[in-house]
Chain A
Amino acid sequence: MSGNTTIKTFVIDGNPVSATESETILDVARQNGVNIPTLCNMSGLTSTGQCRLCMVEIAGSNRLTPSCVTKPEEGMEVVTESPRLLKYRQMILELLFSERNHICAVCVTNGNCELQSMAQRLEVDHVRYEYLHPKFKVDGSHPKFEVDHNRCILCGRCVRVCDEIEGAHTRDLRNRGIQTLVITDFDGPWGESKSCTSCGKCVHVCPTGALAEKGKSVAEMAKRRQFLPYLVMRRKGASK
């Protein structure tokens, strides 16, 4: 270890903390036991700041800042929980619930779902928006996995893990706005994909029941994410 690492100190929720140049507010918060809500971020994958749940307040600014992509500055005062933040986070979750078909009682990840547990944690007890209930197709053409777009929250984790960790880039997006869909190759059936290695990483990083292993019934699909920190650690080791 060389002695020329620059360390910044700043404040999270009143507690002084320190960060290296490469760490984000979210990284440091996690190290210090502050669990900022997020659905799109995953340690080991590029942060994209798109779910907007990890927004935090910074003293002196009225603008909210996504903590997963913001590097702290010396002396910065970060607030991760406030009535305003809670209200926004709840509303964003309600919007996500209204967007597609999130009926837990018939979902393979019931009890193991990040969207569900986030809603419980933030005490979302009703959805004040009209349910849009679009009718997207379910692709069960892959021998091991299936994708149900009706449960997708478009967090983009599957796209990133496939591109950044597996290196296959089988997944991408098509359409825009509310019609946005995660697709396989050039929007073909998953089972016919030439680029997919069937590694299953996308299934296990998916926060909801959109991606699941076949043969799982209601509440049986628990996600196993242990591989990700391990792979990232190995990769970092190799690049040193």
Chain B
Amino acid sequence: MTNEELLEIVEKEAENTAKFRHRLGVCTGTGCMSSRSAAIVTELQAEVKKRGLENEIQVKKVGCMGLCAAGPIISVQPENIFYRDMTPEEAVSVIDSLDSEPLHEKMIDISEPFFYRQEKYALENAGVVDPERIEDYIAAGGYAALIRAITEMTPLDVIQEIIASGLRGRGGAGYPTGLKWSTVAKIESDLKYIVCNADEGDPGAFMDRSVLESDPHRVLEGMAIAAFAVGASQGYIYVRAEYPLAIKRMKAAIKQAEKMGLLGQDICGTPFNFKVDVRLGAGAFVCGEETALLNSIEGNRGMPRLRPPYPAEAGLFQKPTLVNNVETFANISGIIGDGGKWFARIGTAKSKGTKVFALTGKIKNTGLIEVPMGITLREIVYDIGGGIPNGRKFKAIQTGGPSGGCIPAEHLDTPVDYESLKALGSMMGSGGMIVIDDTSNMIDMARFFMEFSMEESCGKCAPCRVGTVQLYNLLGKFQQGEATEADLATLEELCDLVRNTSLCGLGQAAPNPIVSTLRYFRNEYLEKMKPSAAAAKEEAR
């Protein structure tokens, strides 16, 4: 595949698209599929055929359009109309409306902040391209960055662009991506690996799944560029088996890219080889930890290894390995295409670009959002999210899942970036955001996450294995109103122990939900405590 051949596809696709008067896009992400969006596609296609409009109306499967609360969504182009809560029965009326009045009662108001406050970058193609057709991705400008990188740039050029972009790992820890790449590039080895971490396990997080389902080629392109930059020849995408649609689309995408010569041997007539395979995770949360993930790919029990040595030095099969998250890879093609500086114009001093969040919980606009770094939590909750439903009051927002913490109302004006969230005792995490209203009790929430960490602890080190169970039980005592002052002291001591002595990130971060609720909602713990013997005596008098 050369650039000319790529442009030919772009032209052919543009011609093809231009012949349709109307183009209907139906969301076929997992969320909308569960509300019968596959049947909507079949219904629309049958109806279009019945009316003999195949050459005038295009019916296309697309990825996630973001506003999952309103799904299934149908988009109508070029009119730029979006219809909400569609059913296979109602879908036909969309065709009826095409050349007349739109269906006002079903229209989504795209002048709302949910749409204009977002900045789509990693999700640029989500909801636009058909994730099952490589031509569609190419027509949207896809693979141009890869071809540019391997034919016009040196690996060092590519790494310098990534460094200039200021991109940091989107898996949650925020390690500078350019630095990671240059480390792997510098280590000499006959074999190096690229691993895409798609083992998204946080409760309430679905960013990576949506990216894989909506735009799989974008991730592949990012991985291939990374492989070129660091000198790797084999890539693995480690996806959890709970994401069947993402797996199916990713596997199909790999085949298509191989067929077009964009993956495989001698890519674009250069000596660059890169092969990608999918590896499935069996559902252990700890396998999202990079060294446990590598163990799992190797066929071993998914338990974390000690670092150092870091994967960059001795990773998969003891070879230098670059491990990045799905969203990190999804940002790469844009950076190479538009330049690192262009990317770095968005965001704050230390956190550049945009971040995808899965906005869930007690919020009106549940869904997938992408916002510029530095946006405040208030804007996310009240502008984009549309506020709290049922007239309830905002209480806290939980970021970073079981490894993160909650942020109360008084800190709503905090800008979203790695450092600010960390300073508040939470973390960016991979991007789950759960909004909590005043009907929820913070001890319940902390215990929910502790139960998760306890069940997902791999059992290797004692502080995490036993500590999480004891923490969970102690929180149970608070729930029952049977906790004493000694229990509160034990709870805090134990949090400190688990955080400081656990072997991997899972254990080290497991106490965060407790520590942050103790920090901001200590009263809820105190209220639940059994009155001490002395206080009881006092009362009796």
Contact = CB atoms under 8 A, between A and B. Distances in A.
Interface of A: 48-52, 55, 63-64, 66, 69, 88, 91-92, 95-96, 98-99, 128-130, 132, 153-154, 156, 172-173, 175-180
B462 A50 contact: yes
Nearest to B471: A129
B301 A92 contact: no
Interface in B466-504: 466-470, 473, 486, 490, 493-494, 497, 500-503
B490 A88 contact: no
A177 B455 contact: yes
Contacts of B460: 48, 50, 154, 156
A176 B459 contact: yes
B462 A176 contact: no
Given A48-B306, A52-B462, A176 B456 contact: yes
B328 to A, nearest CB: 25
Contacts of A132: 466, 469
Nearest to B300: A172
A180 B493 CA distance: 25
B500 A173 contact: no
A178 B461 contact: no
B284 interface: yes
Nearest to A39: B462
Contacts of B455: 176-177
A130 B482 CA distance: 14
A95 B459 contact: no
A156 B459 CA distance: 11
B372 interface: no
B395 interface: no
Contacts of B37: none
Given A91-B494, A98-B470, A129-B470, A177 B465 contact: yes
Contact of A177 (B301, B459, B497): B459
Contacts of B470: 95, 98, 129-130
Contact of B503 (A49, A63, A95): A49
B469 A91 contact: no
B457 to A, nearest CB: 4
12 contacts: A69-B306, A88-B497, A96-B462, A128-B490, A129-B466, A129-B490, A173-B459, A177-B454, A177-B456, A179-B459, A180-B458, A180-B459
How would you classify the secondary structure of chain B's contact residues: helix, strand, loop or mixed? helix
A205 B463 CA distance: 22
B462 A95 contact: yes
B283 to A, nearest CB: 11
Nearest to B464: A177
Contacts of A48: 306, 460
Given A52-B501, A55-B501, 20 more contacts: A50-B462, A63-B500, A64-B500, A88-B501, A91-B494, A95-B470, A128-B486, A129-B470, A129-B494, A154-B459, A154-B460, A154-B465, A156-B460, A173-B301, A175-B459, A176-B455, A176-B458, A177-B454, A177-B458, A177-B459
B365 to A, nearest CB: 36
A48 B455 CA distance: 22
Nearest to A92: B462
Contacts of B486: 128
Contacts of A154: 459-460, 462, 465
A162 B508 CA distance: 30
A129 B455 CA distance: 19
Contacts of A178: 454, 457, 459, 465-466, 469
A64 B284 CA distance: 27
Given A88-B501, A176-B284, A51 B461 contact: yes
Contacts of B468: 177
Contacts of B490: 128-129
